[in-house]
Structure 1
Amino acid sequence: MRPSRNLWITLLLAAAAAVLLWNRYHAAHRSSLRITDLAASSPLNQPGGAEVPAEAYQVYSGIYQTPADEPLAFAQDSGTDVPQLNGSCLKPSTPDEKAMADAFEAANRRSQRWDTRFHLPGGYSVLSPRELDEAQTCLASHTQNTPQCTPYKALRHVRILGVPGFDSAHNRALVSILIKCGPYCGTGGIFEAHKENGRWKRADPTPFTSDCSWRY
Protein backbone atom coordinates (compact mmCIF):
# COMPACT_ATOMS: atom_id res chain seq x y z
CA MET A 1 0.00 0.00 0.00
CA ARG A 2 1.49 3.31 -1.12
CA PRO A 3 1.46 6.33 1.27
CA SER A 4 -1.06 8.91 0.18
CA ARG A 5 0.03 12.27 -1.28
CA ASN A 6 -1.30 14.07 1.80
CA LEU A 7 0.86 11.90 4.06
CA TRP A 8 4.02 12.78 2.08
CA ILE A 9 3.18 16.47 2.33
CA THR A 10 2.63 16.13 6.07
CA LEU A 11 5.97 14.33 6.52
CA LEU A 12 7.82 16.97 4.45
CA LEU A 13 6.28 19.81 6.46
CA ALA A 14 7.20 18.09 9.74
CA ALA A 15 10.79 17.61 8.55
CA ALA A 16 11.03 21.27 7.50
CA ALA A 17 9.69 22.38 10.89
CA ALA A 18 12.23 20.16 12.68
CA VAL A 19 15.09 21.65 10.65
CA LEU A 20 13.88 25.18 11.40
CA LEU A 21 13.65 24.48 15.14
CA TRP A 22 17.13 22.86 15.11
CA ASN A 23 18.68 25.87 13.39
CA ARG A 24 17.00 28.30 15.79
CA TYR A 25 18.23 26.30 18.80
CA HIS A 26 21.83 26.28 17.60
CA ALA A 27 21.74 29.99 16.70
CA ALA A 28 20.51 30.81 20.22
CA HIS A 29 23.14 28.51 21.73
CA ARG A 30 25.95 30.14 19.73
CA SER A 31 24.68 33.57 20.76
CA SER A 32 24.78 32.62 24.44
CA LEU A 33 28.42 31.52 24.07
CA ARG A 34 29.56 34.62 22.16
CA ILE A 35 32.30 36.52 24.03
CA THR A 36 31.82 40.26 24.13
CA ASP A 37 34.60 42.14 22.37
CA LEU A 38 36.02 44.21 25.23
CA ALA A 39 38.02 46.30 22.79
CA ALA A 40 34.72 47.52 21.36
CA SER A 41 32.47 47.53 24.42
CA SER A 42 34.97 48.76 27.02
CA PRO A 43 38.14 50.10 25.37
CA LEU A 44 41.15 50.91 27.52
CA ASN A 45 44.10 53.29 27.11
CA GLN A 46 42.12 56.04 25.39
CA PRO A 47 43.95 59.39 25.11
CA GLY A 48 43.24 62.31 27.42
CA GLY A 49 44.10 60.97 30.87
CA ALA A 50 45.65 62.97 33.70
CA GLU A 51 48.78 62.31 35.76
CA VAL A 52 49.03 59.02 37.62
CA PRO A 53 47.94 59.23 41.31
CA ALA A 54 50.76 59.38 43.87
CA GLU A 55 49.69 56.09 45.49
CA ALA A 56 50.39 54.22 42.25
CA TYR A 57 54.12 55.05 42.53
CA GLN A 58 54.22 53.42 45.97
CA VAL A 59 52.86 50.16 44.56
CA TYR A 60 55.42 49.83 41.76
CA SER A 61 58.26 51.15 43.94
CA GLY A 62 57.53 48.27 46.31
CA ILE A 63 57.37 45.69 43.52
CA TYR A 64 60.72 46.84 42.08
CA GLN A 65 62.65 47.14 45.37
CA THR A 66 64.85 44.20 44.42
CA PRO A 67 67.45 45.58 41.98
CA ALA A 68 66.93 44.28 38.45
CA ASP A 69 69.70 42.63 36.42
CA GLU A 70 69.19 45.22 33.66
CA PRO A 71 68.46 48.96 33.48
CA LEU A 72 64.82 49.77 34.16
CA ALA A 73 63.05 51.90 31.58
CA PHE A 74 59.33 52.73 31.90
CA ALA A 75 57.04 54.16 29.25
CA GLN A 76 55.76 57.61 30.15
CA ASP A 77 52.22 56.75 29.09
CA SER A 78 50.40 54.04 31.03
CA GLY A 79 49.01 51.08 29.14
CA THR A 80 47.45 47.70 29.78
CA ASP A 81 45.30 44.96 28.31
CA VAL A 82 42.64 42.65 29.73
CA PRO A 83 42.86 39.41 27.70
CA GLN A 84 39.47 37.97 26.82
CA LEU A 85 38.66 34.57 28.26
CA ASN A 86 34.90 34.12 28.64
CA GLY A 87 34.64 37.92 28.50
CA SER A 88 37.59 38.82 30.75
CA CYS A 89 40.66 37.05 32.10
CA LEU A 90 39.90 38.45 35.58
CA LYS A 91 37.82 36.05 37.70
CA PRO A 92 36.77 37.87 40.89
CA SER A 93 35.13 35.66 43.52
CA THR A 94 34.71 38.16 46.39
CA PRO A 95 33.35 41.72 46.66
CA ASP A 96 36.90 43.04 47.20
CA GLU A 97 38.15 41.34 44.04
CA LYS A 98 35.18 42.66 42.07
CA ALA A 99 35.91 46.17 43.40
CA MET A 100 39.57 45.86 42.34
CA ALA A 101 38.64 44.64 38.86
CA ASP A 102 36.18 47.51 38.38
CA ALA A 103 38.67 50.05 39.75
CA PHE A 104 41.43 48.69 37.51
CA GLU A 105 39.35 49.02 34.36
CA ALA A 106 38.17 52.48 35.38
CA ALA A 107 41.72 53.66 36.15
CA ASN A 108 42.94 52.47 32.75
CA ARG A 109 40.03 53.72 30.68
CA ARG A 110 42.28 56.61 29.66
CA SER A 111 46.05 56.48 29.37
CA GLN A 112 47.69 58.38 32.21
CA ARG A 113 51.20 59.83 32.46
CA TRP A 114 54.00 58.56 34.69
CA ASP A 115 56.62 60.95 36.10
CA THR A 116 59.99 60.35 37.80
CA ARG A 117 58.49 59.77 41.24
CA PHE A 118 59.39 56.11 41.71
CA HIS A 119 61.72 55.27 44.62
CA LEU A 120 63.91 52.49 43.28
CA PRO A 121 67.34 51.38 44.53
CA GLY A 122 68.94 50.88 41.13
CA GLY A 123 67.73 53.93 39.21
CA TYR A 124 65.48 54.03 36.17
CA SER A 125 64.41 56.14 33.20
CA VAL A 126 60.99 57.24 31.93
CA LEU A 127 60.66 57.26 28.14
CA SER A 128 58.49 59.71 26.21
CA PRO A 129 56.32 58.24 23.42
CA ARG A 130 59.00 59.16 20.86
CA GLU A 131 61.76 57.60 22.97
CA LEU A 132 59.66 54.49 23.53
CA ASP A 133 59.25 54.00 19.77
CA GLU A 134 62.98 54.55 19.22
CA ALA A 135 63.96 52.15 22.00
CA GLN A 136 61.64 49.40 20.78
CA THR A 137 62.89 49.77 17.21
CA CYS A 138 66.49 49.50 18.41
CA LEU A 139 65.68 46.46 20.54
CA ALA A 140 63.82 44.71 17.73
CA SER A 141 66.53 45.36 15.14
CA HIS A 142 69.44 44.69 17.54
CA THR A 143 71.11 47.94 16.46
CA GLN A 144 71.79 49.50 19.87
CA ASN A 145 75.39 50.20 18.78
CA THR A 146 74.33 52.59 16.03
CA PRO A 147 74.46 56.35 16.81
CA GLN A 148 70.67 56.79 16.94
CA CYS A 149 70.38 53.86 19.35
CA THR A 150 73.24 54.86 21.66
CA PRO A 151 70.89 56.15 24.41
CA TYR A 152 69.30 52.67 24.58
CA LYS A 153 72.50 50.65 24.27
CA ALA A 154 72.19 48.99 27.68
CA LEU A 155 68.46 48.27 27.47
CA ARG A 156 67.11 44.77 27.04
CA HIS A 157 63.45 45.60 27.67
CA VAL A 158 61.12 48.53 28.22
CA ARG A 159 58.19 48.30 30.61
CA ILE A 160 54.69 49.68 30.15
CA LEU A 161 52.81 49.98 33.42
CA GLY A 162 49.07 49.95 34.01
CA VAL A 163 47.50 52.16 36.66
CA PRO A 164 46.65 50.08 39.77
CA GLY A 165 43.05 49.40 40.78
CA PHE A 166 42.61 49.30 44.57
CA ASP A 167 40.21 47.59 46.94
CA SER A 168 38.11 49.68 49.33
CA ALA A 169 40.78 49.64 52.06
CA HIS A 170 43.64 50.32 49.62
CA ASN A 171 45.59 47.37 51.00
CA ARG A 172 45.26 45.29 47.83
CA ALA A 173 45.67 46.33 44.20
CA LEU A 174 45.61 44.97 40.69
CA VAL A 175 48.64 45.95 38.63
CA SER A 176 49.72 45.35 35.05
CA ILE A 177 53.21 45.18 33.52
CA LEU A 178 54.08 44.75 29.84
CA ILE A 179 57.75 43.85 29.34
CA LYS A 180 58.58 44.68 25.72
CA CYS A 181 61.64 43.63 23.71
CA GLY A 182 60.28 45.34 20.60
CA PRO A 183 56.96 46.50 19.12
CA TYR A 184 55.78 42.90 18.62
CA CYS A 185 57.91 41.08 21.16
CA GLY A 186 57.46 40.64 24.90
CA THR A 187 55.35 39.33 27.73
CA GLY A 188 52.75 40.81 30.01
CA GLY A 189 50.32 40.13 32.77
CA ILE A 190 47.92 41.42 35.39
CA PHE A 191 48.56 40.34 38.96
CA GLU A 192 47.75 41.32 42.50
CA ALA A 193 49.90 43.27 44.97
CA HIS A 194 49.23 43.77 48.65
CA LYS A 195 50.52 46.00 51.40
CA GLU A 196 52.54 44.25 54.10
CA ASN A 197 53.96 46.19 57.06
CA GLY A 198 53.33 49.40 55.17
CA ARG A 199 55.13 48.31 51.99
CA TRP A 200 53.77 46.95 48.75
CA LYS A 201 54.86 43.59 47.36
CA ARG A 202 53.64 41.13 44.77
CA ALA A 203 51.04 38.73 46.14
CA ASP A 204 50.96 34.97 45.62
CA PRO A 205 48.98 33.95 42.51
CA THR A 206 45.30 33.02 42.86
CA PRO A 207 42.53 32.05 40.40
CA PHE A 208 41.54 35.74 40.37
CA THR A 209 44.35 36.60 37.94
CA SER A 210 45.75 33.20 36.92
CA ASP A 211 44.50 33.57 33.31
CA CYS A 212 45.86 37.11 32.92
CA SER A 213 49.26 36.55 31.35
CA TRP A 214 50.25 36.62 27.71
CA ARG A 215 53.15 36.59 25.26
CA TYR A 216 53.57 38.61 22.08
Structure 2
Amino acid sequence: MTEKVRVWDVPVRLFHWSLLGLFTFSWWSGENHEMEWHRQSGLLIVALLLFRVFWGLAGSRTARFAQFVKGPGEVLAYARKASDEHATDGHNPLGGWSVAALLLVLLTLVTAGLFSVDVDGLESGPLAGFLSFDGGRAAAEIHEIAFKAALTLIGLHVCAIGYYQFLVGRDLIGPMITGRRDLEAGETIESVRWSPLRALIGLVVILALVWAISKGFQFASAGDV
Protein backbone atom coordinates (compact mmCIF):
# COMPACT_ATOMS: atom_id res chain seq x y z
CA MET A 1 0.00 0.00 0.00
CA THR A 2 1.26 3.49 -0.91
CA GLU A 3 2.43 5.52 2.07
CA LYS A 4 0.62 8.83 2.56
CA VAL A 5 1.72 12.16 3.98
CA ARG A 6 -0.45 14.90 5.49
CA VAL A 7 -0.02 18.08 3.44
CA TRP A 8 -3.01 20.18 4.57
CA ASP A 9 -4.15 20.83 8.13
CA VAL A 10 -7.78 20.93 9.27
CA PRO A 11 -8.10 24.76 9.40
CA VAL A 12 -6.89 25.17 5.81
CA ARG A 13 -9.32 22.56 4.52
CA LEU A 14 -12.26 23.98 6.50
CA PHE A 15 -11.37 27.45 5.23
CA HIS A 16 -11.25 26.27 1.62
CA TRP A 17 -14.63 24.53 1.52
CA SER A 18 -16.40 27.03 3.81
CA LEU A 19 -15.23 29.91 1.62
CA LEU A 20 -16.52 28.14 -1.48
CA GLY A 21 -19.94 27.61 0.10
CA LEU A 22 -20.23 31.12 1.53
CA PHE A 23 -19.07 32.81 -1.67
CA THR A 24 -21.70 30.89 -3.62
CA PHE A 25 -24.37 31.76 -1.06
CA SER A 26 -23.36 35.43 -1.06
CA TRP A 27 -23.62 35.49 -4.84
CA TRP A 28 -27.09 33.95 -4.69
CA SER A 29 -28.33 36.23 -1.91
CA GLY A 30 -27.04 39.34 -3.67
CA GLU A 31 -28.63 38.39 -6.98
CA ASN A 32 -31.95 37.70 -5.23
CA HIS A 33 -31.85 40.88 -3.13
CA GLU A 34 -31.79 38.95 0.15
CA MET A 35 -29.63 41.65 1.65
CA GLU A 36 -29.81 40.60 5.30
CA TRP A 37 -28.59 37.14 4.35
CA HIS A 38 -26.00 38.78 2.08
CA ARG A 39 -24.66 40.89 4.95
CA GLN A 40 -24.46 37.95 7.35
CA SER A 41 -22.74 35.78 4.78
CA GLY A 42 -20.33 38.59 3.98
CA LEU A 43 -19.40 38.96 7.65
CA LEU A 44 -18.67 35.24 7.84
CA ILE A 45 -16.42 35.60 4.79
CA VAL A 46 -14.64 38.48 6.54
CA ALA A 47 -14.01 36.17 9.51
CA LEU A 48 -12.73 33.40 7.23
CA LEU A 49 -10.37 35.70 5.34
CA LEU A 50 -8.99 37.30 8.51
CA PHE A 51 -8.40 33.85 9.96
CA ARG A 52 -6.62 32.77 6.76
CA VAL A 53 -4.34 35.81 7.01
CA PHE A 54 -3.62 34.93 10.64
CA TRP A 55 -3.07 31.27 9.74
CA GLY A 56 -0.80 32.30 6.88
CA LEU A 57 1.49 33.82 9.50
CA ALA A 58 1.00 31.45 12.45
CA GLY A 59 -0.32 28.22 10.98
CA SER A 60 1.22 24.96 9.86
CA ARG A 61 4.09 24.66 7.39
CA THR A 62 2.04 24.50 4.18
CA ALA A 63 -0.45 27.13 5.39
CA ARG A 64 2.16 29.86 5.76
CA PHE A 65 2.60 32.51 3.08
CA ALA A 66 6.37 32.24 3.41
CA GLN A 67 6.15 28.64 2.22
CA PHE A 68 4.19 29.18 -0.98
CA VAL A 69 4.67 32.82 -2.07
CA LYS A 70 7.91 32.58 -4.03
CA GLY A 71 10.00 35.03 -6.04
CA PRO A 72 9.57 35.60 -9.82
CA GLY A 73 12.54 33.37 -10.66
CA GLU A 74 11.10 30.33 -8.91
CA VAL A 75 7.65 30.95 -10.41
CA LEU A 76 9.03 31.17 -13.97
CA ALA A 77 11.22 28.10 -13.48
CA TYR A 78 8.24 26.11 -12.25
CA ALA A 79 5.96 27.34 -15.05
CA ARG A 80 8.43 26.13 -17.71
CA LYS A 81 8.24 22.53 -16.51
CA ALA A 82 5.03 22.37 -14.47
CA SER A 83 3.79 19.18 -16.10
CA ASP A 84 7.07 17.39 -15.34
CA GLU A 85 7.39 18.46 -11.70
CA HIS A 86 6.64 16.06 -8.88
CA ALA A 87 3.91 16.84 -6.36
CA THR A 88 4.79 19.78 -4.14
CA ASP A 89 4.68 20.24 -0.39
CA GLY A 90 1.53 22.38 -0.32
CA HIS A 91 0.95 24.99 -3.04
CA ASN A 92 3.36 25.06 -5.95
CA PRO A 93 5.08 28.42 -6.78
CA LEU A 94 2.55 29.26 -9.50
CA GLY A 95 -0.47 28.19 -7.47
CA GLY A 96 0.83 30.08 -4.45
CA TRP A 97 0.60 33.41 -6.24
CA SER A 98 -2.86 32.58 -7.58
CA VAL A 99 -3.98 31.91 -4.00
CA ALA A 100 -2.42 35.16 -2.80
CA ALA A 101 -4.11 37.10 -5.61
CA LEU A 102 -7.48 35.55 -4.86
CA LEU A 103 -7.17 36.33 -1.14
CA LEU A 104 -6.26 39.95 -1.95
CA VAL A 105 -9.22 40.35 -4.31
CA LEU A 106 -11.62 38.76 -1.81
CA LEU A 107 -10.34 41.01 0.98
CA THR A 108 -10.95 44.00 -1.31
CA LEU A 109 -14.42 42.66 -2.12
CA VAL A 110 -15.57 42.23 1.47
CA THR A 111 -13.90 45.42 2.73
CA ALA A 112 -15.69 47.45 0.06
CA GLY A 113 -18.93 45.66 0.95
CA LEU A 114 -18.63 46.76 4.57
CA PHE A 115 -18.69 50.41 3.47
CA SER A 116 -21.13 50.12 0.55
CA VAL A 117 -24.45 51.92 0.14
CA ASP A 118 -27.09 51.16 -2.49
CA VAL A 119 -28.41 53.80 -4.89
CA ASP A 120 -31.45 54.52 -2.69
CA GLY A 121 -29.47 54.66 0.54
CA LEU A 122 -31.73 51.97 2.01
CA GLU A 123 -29.24 49.10 2.17
CA SER A 124 -25.72 49.54 3.45
CA GLY A 125 -22.79 47.76 5.01
CA PRO A 126 -22.16 47.99 8.75
CA LEU A 127 -19.34 50.53 8.32
CA ALA A 128 -21.08 52.74 5.77
CA GLY A 129 -21.66 55.38 8.43
CA PHE A 130 -17.96 56.21 8.39
CA LEU A 131 -18.25 57.47 4.79
CA SER A 132 -20.36 60.00 2.97
CA PHE A 133 -23.11 58.77 0.64
CA ASP A 134 -20.82 59.33 -2.35
CA GLY A 135 -18.06 57.42 -0.57
CA GLY A 136 -20.47 54.56 0.09
CA ARG A 137 -21.47 54.48 -3.57
CA ALA A 138 -17.79 54.41 -4.60
CA ALA A 139 -17.30 51.48 -2.23
CA ALA A 140 -20.26 49.72 -3.87
CA GLU A 141 -18.64 50.15 -7.28
CA ILE A 142 -15.36 48.72 -5.99
CA HIS A 143 -17.37 45.85 -4.49
CA GLU A 144 -18.85 45.08 -7.92
CA ILE A 145 -15.49 45.29 -9.72
CA ALA A 146 -13.81 43.08 -7.11
CA PHE A 147 -16.64 40.53 -7.45
CA LYS A 148 -16.05 40.25 -11.19
CA ALA A 149 -12.30 39.96 -10.61
CA ALA A 150 -12.92 37.23 -8.03
CA LEU A 151 -15.07 35.27 -10.49
CA THR A 152 -12.27 35.50 -13.06
CA LEU A 153 -9.62 34.26 -10.61
CA ILE A 154 -11.89 31.47 -9.37
CA GLY A 155 -12.45 30.40 -12.99
CA LEU A 156 -8.68 30.30 -13.59
CA HIS A 157 -8.25 28.38 -10.32
CA VAL A 158 -10.77 25.76 -11.45
CA CYS A 159 -9.10 25.49 -14.87
CA ALA A 160 -5.70 24.96 -13.24
CA ILE A 161 -7.12 22.22 -11.01
CA GLY A 162 -8.68 20.57 -14.06
CA TYR A 163 -5.35 20.76 -15.92
CA TYR A 164 -3.46 18.99 -13.13
CA GLN A 165 -6.30 16.57 -12.39
CA PHE A 166 -7.00 15.35 -15.92
CA LEU A 167 -3.98 16.23 -18.09
CA VAL A 168 -1.06 15.89 -15.69
CA GLY A 169 -2.70 13.17 -13.60
CA ARG A 170 -2.03 14.81 -10.24
CA ASP A 171 -4.90 14.76 -7.74
CA LEU A 172 -5.36 18.14 -6.05
CA ILE A 173 -8.96 17.74 -4.92
CA GLY A 174 -8.54 14.59 -2.81
CA PRO A 175 -5.79 16.03 -0.58
CA MET A 176 -7.89 19.17 0.06
CA ILE A 177 -10.65 16.85 1.33
CA THR A 178 -8.63 14.29 3.29
CA GLY A 179 -5.53 16.36 3.98
CA ARG A 180 -3.26 13.59 2.65
CA ARG A 181 -1.59 12.63 -0.60
CA ASP A 182 0.53 9.71 -1.73
CA LEU A 183 4.26 9.93 -1.11
CA GLU A 184 6.25 9.61 -4.29
CA ALA A 185 9.30 7.40 -4.56
CA GLY A 186 12.22 8.88 -2.66
CA GLU A 187 10.20 11.59 -0.91
CA THR A 188 10.94 12.24 2.75
CA ILE A 189 8.42 14.99 3.53
CA GLU A 190 7.09 15.07 7.08
CA SER A 191 3.36 15.38 7.75
CA VAL A 192 2.26 18.91 8.65
CA ARG A 193 1.58 19.65 12.29
CA TRP A 194 -0.69 22.36 13.65
CA SER A 195 -1.72 23.78 17.01
CA PRO A 196 -5.46 23.59 17.80
CA LEU A 197 -4.92 26.00 20.71
CA ARG A 198 -3.28 28.61 18.47
CA ALA A 199 -6.07 28.22 15.95
CA LEU A 200 -8.72 28.61 18.67
CA ILE A 201 -7.12 31.73 20.11
CA GLY A 202 -6.88 33.31 16.66
CA LEU A 203 -10.47 32.37 15.85
CA VAL A 204 -11.83 33.84 19.10
CA VAL A 205 -10.02 37.16 18.57
CA ILE A 206 -11.17 37.36 14.94
CA LEU A 207 -14.80 36.55 15.80
CA ALA A 208 -14.74 39.32 18.43
CA LEU A 209 -13.41 41.75 15.83
CA VAL A 210 -16.02 40.74 13.24
CA TRP A 211 -18.78 41.12 15.85
CA ALA A 212 -17.52 44.67 16.50
CA ILE A 213 -17.52 45.32 12.75
CA SER A 214 -21.10 44.04 12.49
CA LYS A 215 -22.09 46.67 15.08
CA GLY A 216 -20.27 49.41 13.19
CA PHE A 217 -18.05 49.76 16.26
CA GLN A 218 -21.04 51.36 17.99
CA PHE A 219 -21.57 49.88 21.45
CA ALA A 220 -24.51 51.41 23.31
CA SER A 221 -24.62 50.64 27.03
CA ALA A 222 -27.85 49.75 28.83
CA GLY A 223 -27.99 53.28 30.29
CA ASP A 224 -27.87 54.83 26.81
CA VAL A 225 -30.98 53.03 25.59
Give the TM-score normalised by the residue count of structure 2.
Answer: 0.23
Structure possessing the higher radius of gyration over alpha carbons:
1
Give the TM-score normalised by the residue count of structure 1.
Answer: 0.23
Structure having the larger proportion of residues in helix: 2
